[in-house]
Amino acid sequence: MMRIGLFLLTNLAVIVVFSIVFGILSRFFGVGGVHSAGGINYASLAIMCGVYGMVGSMVSLFISKWMAKRSTGTVVIEAPSNATEQWLIDTVAKQARAVNIDMPEVGIFNNSQPNAFATGWNKNKALVAVSSGLLQSMTADEVEAVLAHEIGHVANGDMVTLALIQGVINAFVMFFARIIGNFVDRTVFKNEGDGPGIGYFVTSIVMDILLGFLASAIVMWFSRLREFRADEMGAKLASRDKMISALDALRPAEQRPDQMPESMKAFAIASGQSTGFSIANLFRSHPTLDDRIAALRKYNPSEA
């Protein structure tokens, strides 16, 4: 459940690179047709931002599994070497069949905290990985529920939906960043030429980063909603009691310093959340454990 942080960082990096490349092409080679003697061509700008925004999001999606493996040191189980690995493979295979998806890759990463994630560019090319700490601290029933939760993310197509949402957000971020950049270039830097000046490029890149960060609150809101859905899938595939027990077992992990890579914290199953409203909570990827458990107690898998 740790893929969102990595996805967002990768996406932002791609957008900034695209911004620099497009700026160079526009400034020195006249490619893009966004600027003219009268200022910005808003129609051309909207088309450019839409295309670049979706491309940036899709690139992030397609490399998400590779980046997740690299940043966590996940070792994919090619041939089970012990009973635990065999059980993991068998459990994920059973759950994948139950939701009619292809068998994901299964891996283990070295981390003393109980964590897990699922990622991949589509539901039939996914990776499900658990930490060594999760295997050591949870019962088999609880691990089964965590795996079912991750399979829920895969089966629900959360990564693809996230990429589409992020693509639209990217387009708006890039569009308004360039409008602000043009305003600063013309009014602050007094650029009266036909093309963009240095003020436009610097401001646009800064605003790409700032607006991209602020807009991530929308993605985090989406993430919180999808956590409830994945919990429901965990309850359906394992059992409600097992899923509740697994969430409850995460409470001690919330009290310890997080050992996950910074880029992967947002989708960690042990992500701790503060209660009550605060600005920081707008950027949280997970609901509180109390909220998730309360929602599960109201959920009846047999009626779903």
Per residue in 87-113, pLDDT (tens digit) is 999 999 999 999 999 999 999 999 999
Residue 262: what pLDDT? 43
Check: pTM over 0.85? Answer yes or no.
no
Residue 302: what pLDDT? 76
* Alpha-carbon gap, residue 149 to 237, rounded angstroms: 8
Contact 62, 126 (CB under 8 A): no
Residue 67: what pLDDT? 87
Residue 13: what pLDDT? 72
DSSP conformation class of 197: -
* Alpha-carbon gap, residue 105 to 89, rounded angstroms: 9
Percentage of residues in the chain with pLDDT exceeding 70? 80
Beta strands in the chain (DSSP E): 35-36, 39-40, 75-76, 105-109, 116-119, 127-131
3-state secondary structure of 221: helix
Residue 266: what pLDDT? 41
Listed as ranges, residues in the chain with pLDDT below 50 are 1, 31, 257, 261-268, 272-275
List 105, 144, 150, 227, catalytic entry:
150
Residue 32: what pLDDT? 55
Active site residue 150: yes
* Alpha-carbon gap, residue 196 to 20, rounded angstroms: 13
